[in-house]
Structure 1
Amino acid sequence: MKNELFIKNNIGDEGEQMYLVIGDIVEKVNIVAPSTKCEDVYKIFDENPSLEGIVVCTGEQPIGLVMKTQFFQKLSTKYGFDLFMKRTIDLVMDQELLVVDFSAPIAEVSTLAMNRKQANLYDYVVVTKQGSIYGIVSMRDLIIKLSEVQINIARYSNPLSGLPGNNVIEEKLQEILTYENFSVFYLDIDLFKVFNDTYGFREGDVLLKETANIISETILTSANEPSFVGHIGGDDFIAVIPHYDHELLCEAIINRFDQFILRFYSDEERKKGYIRAITRQGTVENVPLVSISIAVVQNKNFIISTVEQLSKKAAELKKKCKEFKHSVFLTLDDAEGETDASQYEELVR
């Protein structure tokens, strides 16, 4: 899953079930010491027909795994019963067990489990917490839960970018309004329709996907505190951080975007800074190169208590961003100060 990197931060209440970690589906497990006799392990399996495996631990640290199927196979070989029953389980246990931390994402664990040897594909996944045994997850439960996660991701995420869609975005915005400090970034690609009409939908999809990557990687890997990125739809994105330190994040997004967008243009178009294209009015004009606008709405000097107020402020700010012919970010303070495009050009020189 594409956005597994961002799982821990990129959730709302509605989307929590999409981003389970392995510890969320763990089960208790029977534990034995390495000095336990095989006959005692046999008895445990015999008395618990539904039990599939046992973990061998030294203290609280797992060192081996005994799956019932393999255990019984060894006992059923010629002389196997007589050979092993009076001996200790450490001679029979599998030492190549898959051990993961309880905080590992389910999709990541699934990949590790499926990459095991064929003979071990259906072994338990052993889960630890701070190095101590925490429980096990069966492959059956792991596959079922992974399927549920993937279905929910498809349901609540934008199919193109893989980012959370409007259901999760709505939940996150309601949550962010309870924060003492927040910054909400409304981002959209300027002149995207002209770009799509000129270069085609395939290139348009490439641009949208890379824009999603740029925003996600910048926000979710740079902001250590809980943060969020969503795809509203089309060329509109949203990002949330629980503080006011927006400048470096906005600059990083713009710098990466402006570098990436150059790949679509010829050397001559880059030098001129525009292309000849058909506008929405149906006329052929000089159209600036695609840019990105970021409207940053903060509760720094403004009281914002509803999502509607937040959206209205963002719409006003985005309109002001459109006055510029290049990528730009503006805050509510910039709008209140009536900074126009020409004044902004002087400030950034």
Structure 2
Amino acid sequence: MLPFRFRLTLVQKMILSFAVSGVCLTAALVYALAGLDAMHRMEEEFARKDLAAVTMTIGLRDAILAQERALGKYLILKEQVFRDVFDKNVQQFNNTLFSFKQIYQGNKLRELESSYRAYHQASQKIFAGNTAVVPVMKQSAERIEKIIAEIRDEQQESLVYKLKTTDEQETRTVSRSIFLASFGVVVSSLIAVLLIYSFARSIGKLQKATHRIAEGEFDYDPEIPPGDEIGTLAKDFSRMATRLKQLEQISLDASPLTRLPGNIAIERAIHQRLAGTTPFAVCYLDLDNFKSYNDRYGYIKASDLIREAGRVIYDAVHGLQEPQAFVGHIGGDDFVVIISAGKAEAACQAIIHAVDALIPDFYSAEDRLKGAIEGVDRYGVHRVFPLISISISALVCTPGSCGSAAEIATAAAQLKDQVKKETGSNYCIVRRGAGDGTVLE
């Protein structure tokens, strides 16, 4: 079994090229959009959490420092206004700490809350007049500032890491998007180059085949494999060359007078029908009294008559609307018609009608009036010859009833001799079946 070779058509190849390019470009676009969306979410997280966290740590530090300053001034001046400032900054610290807890869940948050409680308790004792806890308050304030500084450093490190990750994500997104887009362009360009090369190579082969066929080498094979439009075109070229070869043979064999196919084409047509399964009829046509006409009117008028007879015979046969009908010119005043068995009788009648209508125009008025001409026959005997008529002998062959083309031609010629014995235009049809024949007028 021969291996199956799958070949894409040119349209399929072009669609594949555009599809690969489109898929890669779409993938690049989708990947880029996904990357941009991821970076957008990270930027939102920066703005919502990281930057806010850094800002809040600054606010916490400022609030605790403001509390220390207000408490210190209160220790010196003992004025209520400084306690009010202290309380205001306590509220600011607590509000900021509450907001900070929403975005930061680190371990140092609990330590900050514990240290601030100790600081606040000590400050309240100071406001109550117990100055002994001032060292405890200062120690708590230092611890709070230290924790806030550590949280701020931690947030800054996290922000730096996320910014670095974002940069890497951006670089990766851009590079991969460019790669996918470039890959699609390269692949589609490669397919386009291969298509152009294949197309140009095939066109070159077809061009060479055209030149070779034009030079008469009808058997030349362009060697283009089938499967695409170029392969189909090459197959059509080969069929065209075969047909041209047949037409050339027919042309070389054709009668130069009537341009109808000659003996070789007639024999080929009979062989083709013998190889088939459809009954057909071989009609042998002969113009009666043609020699006497040629002797009286000369070969130029006789040639014109033969040419016109071939034309009307051809028109009469093809007027029966049978594309496969065949009309050939054996030579001289002998013709052959090959037609389906069912239209044999209609063909004989149409031919006789056409020829009988044509013949009188080739005679002088005097000869037409007499209906005959005087002349010498082939034996040198002076006699009177009727106007030209046509005799048709048709041999109908059914599958398996006929032998070779030569046997058919011989049988038809013998039958023609019998028909010529009758005066005027006549025809007879013999149907060959199991060895016997029935003659039909």
Q: TM-score range by the shorter chain?
A: 0.5 to 0.7
For 1:175, the equivalent position in structure 2 comes to 272
For 1:323, the equivalent position in structure 2 comes to 421
For 2:397, the equivalent position in structure 1 comes to 299
Question: RMSD of the alignment, in Å?
Answer: 4.4
CA distance in 2, matches of 1:143, 1:168: 18
Matched, 1:152 2:255: no
Change (3 A) 1:289 1:29: farther
1:174 partner letter:
H
Change (3 A) 1:147 1:291: same
Q: Deviations over 1:65-102 (max 9, x none)?
A: xxxxxxxxxxxxxxxxxxxxxxxxxxxxxxxxxxxxxx
Equivalenced residue count is: 232
1:293 partner letter:
S
For 1:313, the equivalent position in structure 2 comes to 411
For 1:166, the equivalent position in structure 2 comes to 263
Which residue of the other structure, out of 337, 345, 352, is the alignment partner of 1:254? 352
For 1:242, the equivalent position in structure 2 comes to 340
1:3-152 matches, within 5 Å, as: 151-152=248-249
For 2:36, the equivalent position in structure 1 comes to none
Q: Which has the higher helix share?
A: 2
- Ranked by relative contact order (alpha carbons within 8 Å, sequence separation 6 or more), the top structure is 1
Contact 1:176–1:242 under 8 Å retained in 2: no
For 2:298, the equivalent position in structure 1 comes to 200
Q: Shift of residue 148 of structure 1?
A: 5.4
Identity, in percent, stands at: 30
| Secondary structure at 2:341 match in 1 | coil
Q: Shift of residue 268 of structure 1?
A: 2.8
Matched, 1:186 2:186: no
Q: Deviations over 1:80-137 (max 9, x none)?
A: xxxxxxxxxxxxxxxxxxxxxxxxxxxxxxxxxxxxxxxxxxxxxxxxxxxx999769
Q: Shift of residue 326 of structure 1?
A: 0.9
For 1:59, the equivalent position in structure 2 comes to none
1:191 partner letter:
N
Change (3 A) 1:210 1:304: same
Q: Shift of residue 247 of structure 1?
A: 2.1
For 1:265, the equivalent position in structure 2 comes to 363
For 1:17, the equivalent position in structure 2 comes to none
CA distance in 2, matches of 1:310, 1:47: 52
For 2:326, the equivalent position in structure 1 comes to 228
Unmatched 5+ stretches in structure 2 = 1-7, 19-188, 205-228
| Secondary structure at 1:331 match in 2 | strand
CA distance in 2, matches of 1:246, 1:175: 18
For 2:378, the equivalent position in structure 1 comes to 280
Contact 2:278–2:398 under 8 Å retained in 1: no
1:163 partner letter:
L
2:317 partner letter:
I
Contact 1:186–1:239 under 8 Å retained in 2: yes
Bigger Cα Rg: 2
CA distance in 2, matches of 1:175, 1:141: 21
TM-score, normalised via structure 1 length: 0.53
| Secondary structure at 2:343 match in 1 | coil
Structure 1 segments of 4 or more deviating over 4 A? 28-33, 42-53, 132-137, 140-150, 335-339
| Secondary structure at 1:324 match in 2 | coil
1:254 partner letter:
I
| Secondary structure at 1:185 match in 2 | strand
Unmatched 5+ stretches in structure 1 = 1-27, 54-131, 345-349
TM-score, normalised via structure 2 length: 0.43
Q: Deviations over 1:271-319 (max 9, x none)?
A: 3210122322223321111111100111379943333432332122111
